[in-house]
Structures are given as structure tokens and as C-alpha cells.
Amino acid sequence: MVSETIELRGHIIDSLILPKVLDQILTHGANFKIGEIKIGERRADQSFARIEVSAETSEALDELVLRLRQHGAEVIERANVQLASAPADGVFPSDFYVTTNQQTFIRFDGKEIEVRPAMINSAIALDRKKESARAVKFFDVNKGNEIVVGHQGVRVVPVQRSTTHTDIFQFINTVVDADEPKSAIIRELGEELRRAQTAKRKIAIVAGPAIVRTGAADHLVRLIEAGYVDRLFAGNSFVAYDVEHTLFGTSLGMNPDLAFTRGGHENHLRAINTIREAGGIFAAVRKKILTRGVMYACVLHDVDIVLTGAIRDEGPIPGVTTDIIEAQKVMRQKLADVTHVMMLATVQHSLAVASMLAPAAKTVCVDIDPAAVERVVEHQPLQSIGLVTDVEPFLRELADCLSESRVRE
Amino acid sequence: MVSETIELRGHIIDSLILPKVLDQILTHGANFKIGEIKIGERRADQSFARIEVSAETSEALDELVLRLRQHGAEVIERANVQLASAPADGVFPSDFYVTTNQQTFIRFDGKEIEVRPAMINSAIALDRKKESARAVKFFDVNKGNEIVVGHQGVRVVPVQRSTTHTDIFQFINTVVDADEPKSAIIRELGEELRRAQTAKRKIAIVAGPAIVRTGAADHLVRLIEAGYVDRLFAGNSFVAYDVEHTLFGTSLGMNPDLAFTRGGHENHLRAINTIREAGGIFAAVRKKILTRGVMYACVLHDVDIVLTGAIRDEGPIPGVTTDIIEAQKVMRQKLADVTHVMMLATVQHSLAVASMLAPAAKTVCVDIDPAAVERVVEHQPLQSIGLVTDVEPFLRELADCLSESRVRE
Amino acid sequence: MVSETIELRGHIIDSLILPKVLDQILTHGANFKIGEIKIGERRADQSFARIEVSAETSEALDELVLRLRQHGAEVIERANVQLASAPADGVFPSDFYVTTNQQTFIRFDGKEIEVRPAMINSAIALDRKKESARAVKFFDVNKGNEIVVGHQGVRVVPVQRSTTHTDIFQFINTVVDADEPKSAIIRELGEELRRAQTAKRKIAIVAGPAIVRTGAADHLVRLIEAGYVDRLFAGNSFVAYDVEHTLFGTSLGMNPDLAFTRGGHENHLRAINTIREAGGIFAAVRKKILTRGVMYACVLHDVDIVLTGAIRDEGPIPGVTTDIIEAQKVMRQKLADVTHVMMLATVQHSLAVASMLAPAAKTVCVDIDPAAVERVVEHQPLQSIGLVTDVEPFLRELADCLSESRVRE
Amino acid sequence: MVSETIELRGHIIDSLILPKVLDQILTHGANFKIGEIKIGERRADQSFARIEVSAETSEALDELVLRLRQHGAEVIERANVQLASAPADGVFPSDFYVTTNQQTFIRFDGKEIEVRPAMINSAIALDRKKESARAVKFFDVNKGNEIVVGHQGVRVVPVQRSTTHTDIFQFINTVVDADEPKSAIIRELGEELRRAQTAKRKIAIVAGPAIVRTGAADHLVRLIEAGYVDRLFAGNSFVAYDVEHTLFGTSLGMNPDLAFTRGGHENHLRAINTIREAGGIFAAVRKKILTRGVMYACVLHDVDIVLTGAIRDEGPIPGVTTDIIEAQKVMRQKLADVTHVMMLATVQHSLAVASMLAPAAKTVCVDIDPAAVERVVEHQPLQSIGLVTDVEPFLRELADCLSESRVRE
């Protein structure tokens, strides 16, 4: 029987940290003994617990403590991280520490260094000279880089539920189902976006083709015009639908104003061809080929456009990053300072974005498929709102809210 | 090898009657020889085909011809129907003819009699004296009633696509998916309802609890106030939700204006208890206990309320028919003269209603689950529109359309 | 500011009772102060917490404490329950206590009385003479019955996660998704059923028509033959499908062995007619009309058959309780001693059954629709397993497991 | 009023060609007059129709005839195709003809040339010297290439339902729903695969990660070992799951044999790191790092592995084509001679593959999401089977069938 003492700090009860830690201990067949527990008497107070964890073998204890750390447990004796060199470009040492999407610190040379940027499913590379640490993907690492191995000296600080309910994200944190009301939440979301805009935070949209197909492009344009969109993440097909709709008034040959005829792919491909011939979105705006629509609004209002490719793409439209590793690099950079993300009707792209967000970013996911919403929202459980609904009325209502609130001012 | 000659009449090509008939023949391993075919040269013209069908055995031919008749085929030699007596109350003779949801005629004594009312999955009872025929369910039949057996002498006239596109139902006939635009269709539907109202047609709503839960009750009330609802079909739980919302402002204890707390069943049960104590919906309105909401609006505007029970019900609320056979009788009667039905967010109830509609009734089905919409729409393929969307924005947009169109007048 | 002191006992940390209680306090805008906290040092140990809760008004405190009690909180000063008379048959006094699906005690005359049977969404009726209490539905109550009002004197004991992991239900407690492995869980479930059978526990099946339609009826028959089914809950349509399949080898006219032709409703209605003519399932078995299938196996192996009606039913088949209030009474009685329920491919019926189960009953829900599984499993979060999968391979694998384990013996 | 005469040939009734053509004419507000119609008297006979189509304007007529051609209509006067030069690399002339996924011929210099390969959503490039034509994507075209514009001289031959029912694909052609039987179809599919194997046809699998996660990898390995897989199309994550499962026995840290603990991403990333360090799948097999699993079986049995990237990928695993345009080129080439494709639990990848298949390829799509199955099956309506079911039991049953049939021989 071996044991180690861990400590938990913060809102460990109402952020479910203590229960999760105890649950993990029991699930792993280990035992615990609570040495001390102090629970904050008032909302804003921090709580504290010291727990002795014991397991059969030191391997089992090690494995368990690794998990507990990911829930924010700290081991008492503060040791430095262990490091190993990357054996080749793009390869980590075999026992590399795998990051979570929580704020993370490493202890090196007796000092704590915050891992910046933090990102899920990465290794941690230490820059000994600069005394800095960053989350690295396979493509970031070069032979010889110093990478954290094991879990000693790593401290994780889970996002904790705020004790002062200032915004909607801390108030609710689950999925609003199809048969539940959404108007009040959309209104609150509007308020949150207004505050974010005033505070010059960065708001991003991840946009799926259904926005254009359902006739919601105009609503998104209103958000862009009102300054509520700083970055637009989309795929090749979103752009193709937007351009087709702008040039021909159709989506896959279907007229959204009547929806009575279902056409083919001709207009879709011609739209792509037109943009390729023009030399890209910006050129098409400059040449007055594109005079309406979401992409036009983005160009006009300096929205940063981040376009990435997928295996089903036609084209591609110039400006789309077709190599997915390159695309991930660009996305990661463009997401680094984003504080609010609305993920609209595009599950794969949303999951990719969600895996690159900073620990504190707030997300809203809208999709008509409840399973899709669940999967996206899981990524950031305490800062995400999921709405199971049609994207068109959602965007209409949000754009209405935000124009009203403008008028009110 | 035995053979029989059938004839097809009407818009047999563009209503897909001819292809379906030939497909059935091939699928059953039979052969055909087309004796004569005349295809209408212009839209409004009728077409005609005479086909000799041959099969290995006369049983196989019989079985096949039965199916072809259900697609509208007539056999050349016009024979009278065959009849047998019901052996007991509630029991049909064993070879009883099973009806479809198409207009149906039987030949008796050399004359054709239309089956009225027509209804799917029934037997046909003949009243020899009155020279009338009607579709009967198990519960309609008494020992000794004369019931049609076999398929001889039965003629089915499938609904055929109109040649003059006057309304939305004949223009499209499939499901509008989540990622397709709906505004134009909702507008057209508004026009159709306005025409139906003007022509004093009967409009019914089949209402699911999600209407109240999503905050769409007010929109439905607007439709009722504007006179667009003649009958309301609902279950016990719809009423319970409506009353809970009206009395306590909650749905299952959840406040739809904020949606931030999720409560229990208390208010729901108290709402039911209140109506039980008052003695029913009408009494509750009279006693001014119920002063808002869908049920209140129905009472005020003389909407016929048809309430039926289900195994999960709490209560029941007085006025709910809890015996499902009794409920079916009431529903059948209340649906007999209905020409337009909107089925909103309640798949089981919608399927029940769809199976009791007259052949020419037009239906709109709205649900967020695509599979549910498909199943309902299948019942009346040429007169149904399915919308995969959230019921709240659907009803809001429809109520907006209809109030606009009022103003325009 | 008013305050009250509550106490929590049991596995309050790892059963998430403490966090839920603190969360409720914060969510309701109230405050807490922890007087004492003792956390069990070893797995099997009980924990304890005394908490002073304070709120702005005594109404708010009351409302809050009501909720906390539903999570198992007890108020310190033990008061007797308050009682009021039912004002009329079928009507509760207006402030009646609404039960949860947890084990519940009331304090009367200084003594604690367990509510038996316990059932969710009911009132509590006291029998002063017998010193007994039971959960009552609207239909159970008569004018003058003494009903618990308010929440004083009511103590709820939530099901707590067992500290000794003896069975699968306490090991996992969520939903196994479509893309997760199921074989190991099905194996464990087989073991659990074997133990239940040995211990003479009562096992119930809630059976949906998809069992017959997918060709899984034979697998269910194997379970029945091996003695793993004590009660069968089904609807009219399950029986109709089973009989149609047995008599004609089809499901809605479709041959499950080839599935190549899709037929109509004829055989379905003829099957119902045959059973009606025979005078019911038992008569049809006796008369050797029914010689195979699930219903036949039930009759042969003395499985208790509980059949209830729904608004879409054809027929009904004799033996189906068509009045839903009567049906609820029968179901409640037939579920009273059931310890294990498998709910297979029938969401409405499963939800009805789930709402009538005893607090400790264990349930398995199998459906291909993830949303359906979630809804059913929510009812008994610590004793339910949900499997998102096709019912046919599930039943095949389970029946295989159970026959193997027989052979092994 | 302008008019043109078209002709239809083949199984124009039972393959629904005539009805679709007439439907299109009416939907476009045009008129028709049937000059001659001859319907084959026996199954194997071809039918013929000559139809005069008239519309208001020549633009409308042109647009309409374009659509009719896509349903197989030929215009009487046989004209040569019109050609224009590609204005730049990767850009088509603006009026380029957009291909369907049907067999297509162009008339050039009085002769008919078949477009080879045919592919949907492409342009047609003519090689004047070789008198050959091929479907080209944007990335195939260079400045100056001769591209077909307009639709004159293009003839499309729709796939027609075979008159001799030799295989399952011509027997049924829709989706088998969750509540329908699948065993007989799986058996027939096994027969079809056996015939394909004997005839040395090429069978491809498109494999989603759920195959590994649900524990179906072994079943797929059995198919590979038995020689039923010639090509494997998969994404980076399928390989990562397979390797993780092989090296660690887990899927995303979850043990499929017990499924009781849900772990993190560590093993997943370590698996990827291991393969990266080894230098790829082949190297890992050679170095005996990989000794089991799907990838190992592919290497051992010479299955062609085609791996493509997606925006959510970790890694990538060496051998994955990360540029999606390059990936499309590889896929197109590797699909050119494939006759049978099984698309298993991966909708995006399946849609990409479906859009690159030859007109006559047969596909089976298996997914638990009905909407996903519908979308994939739509691509090849007369040669596709969709099964809404869990992939694990599907593959188990198929592998069982194929080993049985081996034994039988």
C-alpha cells in the first residue's frame, strides 16, 4: 500500500471538483482519508481539502494521481517537472504528458510557469532560457525540444463556476432541448455579446452551410454590420453556398424564396468557378462581382476570414487552406485571443474549433441535431450553452435583439 | 398462366400510377402486355392505358390484382362486390376487404356506390336498403352486418396530382429538411389558410406539449383569436402544460421566460388538481380561474376541443376521453369534415389523426425530428407538407403572416 | 433573513448529494454556512454535514428547503407532517406534497412511517388507524382522505451509490452510445439476470413492436423459455405484430425473411380479426390457432401479460385494457414487486413504466434513438443502463449469453 | 412558343424515366405532346417515347431540355457539342456543362464519344487528337483545354433497373429502417460479395472509427482475411483508434471489454506518437510494433490503404494525405475500378466517396443515424442499400455469413 497526499483549493464543492476526485479514487479501487476539510461559509469563499490517497501499487497510485491532477488536485511535495528530449521532428518522447483544456502550470527550477497557450491534447514544451512553456502539437515539435514527461510538477487549475452570477454562461451550463424555450436565453446572449463588444473582446463565428441554405445569411450579415463578428471560421462549402446564393439566388439550384423546385449542382459549381476566375473573394468584391452576402459583408467590415478545406469540397475557392495541418496552425493562431465563439450548424468544424480554444473561452452551439450539440458542449462544460433548434430563427431572433439593444441606447 | 385485363385512367403518368402498377407487376413475378396507351397531350387531359396482366396461378393473379386496384386499376369485366355476414359483434368475416385511404367505390346490383366516409384500414359495410356503404372499424360492426369480402367489384380512385397548380400542397409534396428554407412555405401556408377560412373550410390543429414548453402558446392563441382554428385535438398533457403555464408561469416547474432553473413536477400536478377541483376547463374559465392561455382562448372563441388520453397521463383532466376506443370514435367524428390539419410537435397523436382523415384532407406536419415528420407525411403523400423545424419559430412566423395579411386587406 | 438548519447523511459526497444541495442553495439566491462536516474515511463509511441555510424571506426558505429535502436533506427539529382532507373524490387539498421516486418517510405522532408503495408524482395519504402511508394518484383519493400538505415532517432518502461494486448497475450509470462497445455490458447484464432469477426476483420486459419487426421475436422467446421473463408489458400493436408474424410470417405485410416486398395492412388487420374471433390470446392458444411466437410462449410459460391501449390502436385485441386510467392501475399493481425491467424499443410505454417503478428497481433501456434512451434513463439515474443500439442484435446476444451460461452450469 | 422534340429509350416506365421527364416539363411550366409511345410488352423489352416539348422562351426551353437530358432524354437532331477554352489553369469557361453521375456521351465530329471516367459535378474535357473525353475537376484543367459548354450534343444514359432480378441491389433500393429486419439482406449481401470476389471485382470499404470503438474491428479483420476487401478508405482517426486499440486495448482510454471506465485522450495520442516514431503503419508492422488489428491485417493481406485527413485530426499518422485536393486525386484514382463499396459508420467520408464512384458501382451504407443513411443512398438511388443499424452486429453477421458460405463450398 502506497499513499500520497493531495490538496484541493477553490470552489471545490459547487464546481464538483471534490466529488469528482473522490469518485475517481473509488472508481480506481483506491482509498482516501480526509485530513482536513474547510468549506467556504459564503459564496465567494474558497474551500480547501487535504486528502491522503492510497493504492495497492505505486504504478496504480501514479496513474490515479495523474487523473486527480486533471481535476485540479495538487500533490503536497512540490517537485519539478521531468523532461525528456523529442527523439525526432514531430515525435514526442514516449511518456509525454498529455494536456487537458484547463489552465496548466509546470514547476521548473522551483518556480511555477503557466503553459501559454494552453490547449487540449498536446504535449508541453519548455523553453529553458525564456522560462516559458507552451502546449505543442506533433507538428510543433523538433528533435531535441524539451518535453514534459510523467505528471510530476504539473498543476492543473480547472475552470470553476463563478460565485457571482454575472452572465448566462455561469447560470446555465447544459443543453436547451428542442421542446424548451429559447427566447430568454437568446436575449441574454445578446446582452453578453453587447458587453463583449463594449469590452473589445474578440467574437468568432463558426458558420455552416445551413445558415445560407435556410435563408439566415441576411441575419448573419446584420450581426457583421453591427460589429458583433471579429472572425469568421468556415469551410469551402459555406463560401460556395454564400456565393451561389448571392450570384444566382439559389442553394444547390434551389430557390430559397420559393423552395418549390429542387435543382442540381450547376449554379453551385458555376459560383465556385466565378470566384476562381475572379481570383478569390477579395478580388470578386473589388471587381464588383460579389456585391451582397456574408462574404461581401466580411470584406466590407474587416472580419477576419479563416477558411479550411474538407474532403468533400468542390473547388477549392481561393483562400481556403486545403492542407489540414496548415489549416490547424492557422485556426489555432486565429483562435488564440477569441473569448466568445458561436458555432452554428456545423458539427465537425465546431469540434475542431472547440479543441483549440483557450480554457476560459465561452461557446454557444446551435444545431438541430441534439447529439451534435451534446458533443460540442461537452468540450467546455462550464462555459458552454447548447441550443437544439433551427439556425434560421435563432439568428433572426439574435439579430433582432442586437438591433433593438442598439436602438435602446 | 392466367390473365386479366385492367384499365388505368386519369393522370396516370405524372401521378406515378402507371409506373407503380408496372412495378408491382414485375415485383410479383408477373407479366404484362400493353393493349392500348393514350397519354393526354396537354396538362389537363386524362390519360388511359389498357394492360393485360398474366401470372402463374390464379391465386397469384388475384393477390396481384388486389394490389393494382389499390393503385387505381380497374378490371374490365365489372362484377358486383361479394358480401359475407359478420360472424359476431366486433368481428369481420375472414376474407374482408381492407380499405386504403383513397376514394373507394363498390359495385352493387350493377350500380356504383361511393364508400362514405372513406377511411384507411377498415372494412366496408353495405346497407342494402339505403344503397349506401361506409368504412367500418371493428367496433362499428355487429353480428350479421354485410361486409365486402375479396376485392371484386371494388374500385379505388387514387388522389391524383392536380394539373392546375393552385396551392402549395400540390406544388411540393415532400419534407422540407432542417437545412432548407421555410419562410416562403410558411407564407404560402398562410395564404392557403386564409383561403380556407374565407371558404368556411374546417381547420384543425393537433397540438403537442412542446408548443407550450417552447413558449409558442401565445402564437397559437393569436391563430385562434384570428379564427384560423376550428378544432383542437390534444392530449391530457398538452392541457396540463397549458394550465400550468397559465396559472404558475412554468413548464414542469421551469420558467420559460428565463429557463435558468429546472424544477420538478409540483406545479404540473397542482395545475391538474386545480382543474379537477374546478370541475373542468369550461368551469375553470367560468370561475375565472383560467384567464389566459390556449385552453382559455379555445373556450372564448368556440374552438371545438377534442381531448384524448395516453398511458403516461397524470390526472386525468376532466373532459379527456380516457378509453381509447371511445376516443377514436370521437376523433373520427370530429375529423369527418376537416379539410386542413396542422400537426404540431406530437408524433403519436398526429399518426392517429392522419389515419382517420378523409382522402382529400391536406396536412402540415411540424416536428424537430426528421423521422417523425417522414412517418406522418407518408400517410397522405400528395397532400402533405412536412417541416423539420422548431415549433416555436414556425408558429410565430405563421401567426405574423396571418396578422399581416389581415392588415393588408 | 431567515434560516433553518439541515443535515445530510450517507454517501453524500460520492453520490453527489452535498454538491447538489449546495448548488440548489446558490441557485436559489440563498446562503449557507457549514456547521460541521465529517467525511467517511473509508469507502463504506457514512458522511455527515450540518448546514445552516438562510434566505431573504420565509417563503423563499420554505421553497428551497422543500427542494433540499428531495435531495435527502433533513431539517433538525423533527416536526410531524401536516395533514388536510381531500375536498372531493379525485382531488387533493391544494398544498399537497408531491412525491419523488425516492424512498420517503413521514413523521406522524412522533414516529416515522415509510411511504409504501413509494411512487413519483403522487400525493401521500395517511391511514391514521393503521399508522401507514402510501403514495396516491388522483384516482386513488376519496373525499375526506387525509393527505400530507406542505413538506414539514417528510424525509426523503435518495438512492445512494453502493460502496461495494457488486453489479453492473452501480458500476456504470449512463448511456452507452451507438459508437461504444456493448458486448461486455450485455454479458454483465446476462449475469445480473441469472442472479436475479436464482434469487427469485421478478423480471419484467416492456416490449415494443420493433422486436417483432426486426426479427427478434425468437430471441425474446428464448428468454421466456429459459425463465428470464416474469411479466410482459406491451401494447395492442406489439401483440398484433406478433400474431401477424406467427400467422402469416409478415410484419405489416412485409416478409421479414426477405424484406424485399413492402405490403400493406391487410395481414395486420386479419391477424387482429382472427384473435378477436377466437376470443383472445389464451383462447387462440387453446384452439391451436396460435402455435408459435412471443404471445404463445408467454401463455405456455406462465408469463404474466399486461396489455394496454394507445390512441393509434387497431382492434383492440381482447385482453387489452383500453381505458388508460384502468391500465395505469393494473400496471402499478403488476410493477409493485418487479426488481428488474428491460425496456425494449418503445419509448412512450417505457416512460410510463419508469414512472411507476419502486425506488430500487433496476432498468435497462434499449433503443436506436439516443434521445429516447436519455429520457428513459433519467428516471432512475443510479440504477439504469441505456444502450443506443438495434434491438435485434441486442436480444440475440443476450439470449446467446444466457443459453451459454446455462450450458456452463 | 418554341418547341423541341426529345426521345426516351430503355426501361423508361419502370425506371421512372418517363414520369420524371413529364414531371419536369410540367414543373417548369412547359407543355408536351406525345408523338409516339411504345411500351415493351415483356420485361426485357425496351420502351420508346417521342415527345414534343414546348416552352414560352427559348431560354426556358434550353434550361428545361438540359434537365431532361439528365434524365436520359435525347434531342432528335443530333448536333455536335460546343466547346470553349479554359480561360486559366483551374478555371472552366463560364457556360461549362456540369456532369451528373450517369453514363455520358458527347457527339463530336459526328461521332459519339463516351466520357471516361464519368464523375458527378465535373466538366467534360475533350482530347481532340485522341478523340476521347473525360470528366475533369477544377484541379484537372489547364488554360486552353477544350471544355464542353452548353448542353448540345451531350447524351446521358441513366442507370436503368435491370429486368432480370439477379441481385439484391436491383431488388430493393431504399433504406432498411431501424425497426425492419436485416438478417436476410445481410445474407444476400454476403452472396453478392462472394460473387464479386469470384469474378475478381474490386471491393472497397470506407471505414469509420465506430468500427473500432464498438468492438467490430475483429469482424472487419475476418473480412480482410477472407479476401473480401481490396481497398480500405479511412481517415486519420480510424487508424489512430485501431492502433490505440491494438497497442493499449482501449478506445479514447476506454476499455471495450468492460466499458466501465471512461478515460481520456492519453492512449490515443501515445498510439499516434508510436506510429510516428516507427515511421508509419508499414514500418510499425515490419518492426513488430503492430501485430494485430485492422491496419495490420491490411498490410498482411495486401489491402490497398487510402488515408485522408480532416480538420479534427491529431497527428497526422504518416501515410495520411493531409492536403484535401491531393487526397481527392488519390481517392478518385483508387475508386476508378471499384465495383462494390461498403460505407460503414462515417457519413462525411462516405459522401465524398459516393461522389467519385463510377455510375455502375454498387454501394451499401450502414449507419445508426437514419438521416446519414438517406443522404449517402441518394447518390446512387438504383444501386444502393442503406441499413439503419449498429455497425458492430452488422459486421459480425456479415463476417459470420461469409465464413459459413466458405465452409459450405
pLDDT tens digits, one per residue of C308-335: 999 999 999 999 999 999 999 999 999 9
ipTM score for this prediction:
0.86
Residue C116 zone, left/alpha/beta (φ > 0; ψ -120 to 50; rest)? beta
Angle at CA of residue C304, ends C298 and C310, nearest 5°: 95
pLDDT tens digits, one per residue of C122-142: 999 999 999 999 999 999 999
The per-residue pLDDT for A81 is: 93
The per-residue pLDDT for D253 is: 64
The CA distance from D295 to B235, in Å, is 55
Of the candidate ranges A68-77, A272-281, D266-275, the one whose mean pLDDT is the lowest:
A68-77
Is there a contact between C37 and A33 if contact means CB atoms under 8 Å apart? Answer: no
The CA distance from B138 to C272, in Å, is 9
- Give residues with Cβ within 8 angstroms of C333, minimum separation 6: none
- Residues C4-9 have a mean pLDDT of 85
> Per CB distance under 8 Å, which residues of C are interface residues toward A?
13-14, 16, 18-19, 22-23, 26, 31-34, 37, 39, 41-43, 163, 370-371
Is there a contact between C138 and B276 if contact means CB atoms under 8 Å apart? Answer: yes
Q: What are phi and psi of C351, to 5 degrees?
A: -65, -40
CA distance A209 to chain B (A): 8
C263 pLDDT band, cuts 50/70/90, is very low
A263 pLDDT band, cuts 50/70/90, is very low
> Per CB distance under 8 Å, which residues of A are interface residues toward C?
13-14, 16, 18-19, 22-23, 26, 31-34, 37, 39, 41-43, 163, 370-371
**Residues on chain C touching B91 (C-beta within 8 angstroms):** 273, 276-277
Q: Which of C352, C346, C380 is nearest to C366 (CA)?
A: C346
pLDDT tens digits, one per residue of B162-194: 544 456 675 555 788 888 888 888 998 999 999
Is there a contact between C348 and B323 if contact means CB atoms under 8 Å apart? Answer: no
Is there a contact between D32 and B26 if contact means CB atoms under 8 Å apart? Answer: no
The per-residue pLDDT for B14 is: 63
pLDDT tens digits, one per residue of B209-234: 999 999 999 999 999 999 999 999 99
CA distance C270 to chain B (A): 7
Is there a contact between A43 and C26 if contact means CB atoms under 8 Å apart? Answer: yes
DSSP D140: G
The CA distance from D237 to D229, in Å, is 20
Dump the DSSP string for B192-241.
HHHHHHHTT-EEEEEE-THHHHTT-HHHHHHHHHTT--SEEEEEHHHHHH
**Residues on chain B touching C308 (C-beta within 8 angstroms):** 311
Angle at CA of residue B261, ends B257 and B265, nearest 5°: 100
The CA distance from B320 to B53, in Å, is 51
Measured between CB atoms, which of C23, C32, C41 is closest to A34?
C41
* Residue A163 in this model has a pLDDT that exceeds 50: no
What is the enclosing helix (H) or strand (E) of D327?
helix D324-335
CA distance A384 to chain B (A): 14
Is there a contact between A31 and C18 if contact means CB atoms under 8 Å apart? Answer: no
The per-residue pLDDT for C260 is: 37
Ranges of chain B whose pLDDT falls below 70: 14-16, 40-45, 77, 159-168, 170-173, 252-264, 381-382, 405-409
- Residues C402-407 have a mean pLDDT of 68
Q: Are strands B175-176 and B146-149 parallel, antiparallel or unpaired?
A: unpaired
The answer to whether residues A59 and A88 touch, using CB atoms and an 8 Å cutoff, is no
**Residues on chain A touching B257 (C-beta within 8 angstroms):** 181, 183-184
- Higher model confidence: residue D138 or residue A16? D138
DSSP A140: G
**Strand ranges for A1-46 from DSSP E:** 2-10, 31-38
CA distance B229 to chain A (A): 22
Question: What percent of chain C has a predicted confidence (pLDDT) above 90?
Answer: 56
Dig out the grid coordinates for A337 from the structure.
485571443
Dig out the grid coordinates for B211 from the structure.
408548443
DSSP C357: S
C211 pLDDT band, cuts 50/70/90, is very high
Dig out the grid coordinates for C384 from the structure.
439504469
How does the average pLDDT of chain C come out, rounded?
87
- Residues A273-301 have a mean pLDDT of 97
Please give the biggest Cα pair distance in chain B: 75
The per-residue pLDDT for A329 is: 95
The per-residue pLDDT for D77 is: 67
Q: Which of A233, A311, A334 should one mutate to test binding to chain D, selecting the residue with the greatest count of D CBs within 10 A? A: A311
The per-residue pLDDT for C258 is: 46
The CA distance from D189 to D405, in Å, is 12
- Give residues with Cβ within 8 angstroms of C83, minimum separation 6: C126, C146, C147, C148, C149
Please give the biggest Cα pair distance in chain A: 75
Is there a contact between D182 and C259 if contact means CB atoms under 8 Å apart? Answer: yes
Q: Which of A309, A294, A305, A359 is nearest to A334 (CA)?
A: A305
How does the average pLDDT of chain A come out, rounded?
87
SS3 label, residue B281 = helix
Centroid of chain to Cα A317: 25
The CA distance from C323 to D70, in Å, is 56
**Residues on chain A touching C16 (C-beta within 8 angstroms):** 16, 19
Nearest CA in chain A to C27: A171
- Give residues with Cβ within 8 angstroms of A122, minimum separation 6: A98, A99, A135, A136, A137
Dig out the grid coordinates for A185 from the structure.
436565453
Q: Is the dihedral of CA A159, A163, A167, A169 positive or negative?
A: positive
* Residue A174 in this model has a pLDDT that exceeds 80: no
Nearest CA in chain D to C181: D214
- Residues C45-61 have a mean pLDDT of 82
Is there a contact between C13 and A26 if contact means CB atoms under 8 Å apart? Answer: no
pLDDT tens digits, one per residue of C176-198: 888 888 888 899 899 999 999 99
The per-residue pLDDT for A409 is: 46
The CA distance from D218 to D212, in Å, is 8
Which amino acid is present at A1?
Answer: M
SS3 label, residue C189 = helix
CB-based burial label for B406 (10 Å; 0-12, 13-18, 19+): exposed
β-partners of residue B386 are: B175, B365
Is there a contact between C265 and B328 if contact means CB atoms under 8 Å apart? Answer: no
Q: Which of C252, C178, C187, C183 is nearest to C214 (CA)?
A: C252
pLDDT tens, N- to C-terminus, chain D (409 residues) = 778 888 888 878 766 688 778 777 877 778 777 777 777 655 566 788 888 888 888 778 888 888 888 788 887 767 899 999 999 999 999 899 999 888 899 999 989 899 998 888 999 999 999 999 999 999 999 999 999 998 888 888 776 655 444 566 755 557 888 888 888 889 989 999 999 999 999 999 999 999 999 999 999 999 999 999 999 999 999 999 999 999 988 776 666 554 334 346 788 999 999 999 999 999 999 999 999 999 999 999 999 999 999 999 999 999 999 999 999 999 999 999 999 999 999 999 999 999 999 888 999 999 998 889 988 988 776 688 999 999 999 999 999 999 875 554 4
Of the candidate ranges A118-127, C63-72, C268-277, D340-349, the one whose mean pLDDT is the lowest:
C63-72
CB-based burial label for D44 (10 Å; 0-12, 13-18, 19+): exposed
C368 pLDDT band, cuts 50/70/90, is very high
Q: Which of A5, A47, A11, A39 is nearest to A25 (CA)?
A: A5
CA distance D407 to chain A (A): 40
Through-space distance between the first and last CA atoms of chain B, rounded to whole angstroms: 66
The answer to whether residues A202 and A83 touch, using CB atoms and an 8 Å cutoff, is no
CA distances to B206, B230, B399, D388 from B339, rounded to whole Å, are: 13, 11, 20, 35
Q: Which chains touch B (3 or more CB pairs under 8 A)?
A: A, C, D
Through-space distance between the first and last CA atoms of chain D, rounded to whole angstroms: 66
Measured between CB atoms, which of A27, A70, A324 is closest to D322?
A324
Residue C286 zone, left/alpha/beta (φ > 0; ψ -120 to 50; rest)? alpha
Q: Which chains touch D (3 or more CB pairs under 8 A)?
A: A, B, C
The CA distance from A206 to A183, in Å, is 21
DSSP D80: P
The per-residue pLDDT for B343 is: 97
Is there a contact between A39 and C39 if contact means CB atoms under 8 Å apart? Answer: no
- Higher model confidence: residue B242 or residue C403? B242
Is there a contact between C41 and A22 if contact means CB atoms under 8 Å apart? Answer: no
The answer to whether residues C8 and C155 touch, using CB atoms and an 8 Å cutoff, is no
How does the average pLDDT of chain B come out, rounded?
87
Domains and CATH numbers, chain B: 1-77 (3.30.70.2690), 78-161 (2.40.420.10), 168-408 (3.40.50.10690)
Q: What is the reported pTM?
A: 0.85
CA distance D65 to chain C (A): 35
Question: What percent of chain A has a predicted confidence (pLDDT) above 90?
Answer: 56
SS3 label, residue B59 = helix
pLDDT tens digits, one per residue of D293-339: 999 999 999 999 999 999 999 999 999 999 999 999 999 999 999 99
> Per CB distance under 8 Å, which residues of A are interface residues toward B?
171-172, 176, 178-185, 209-210, 213-215, 251, 254, 256-260, 345, 368-369, 388-390, 392-393, 396-397
Grid-cell match 468533400, residue found: A312
Measured between CB atoms, which of B213, B257, B345 is closest to A184?
B257
The CA distance from A179 to B114, in Å, is 43
Grid-cell match 428554407, residue found: B181
CA distance A13 to chain C (A): 5
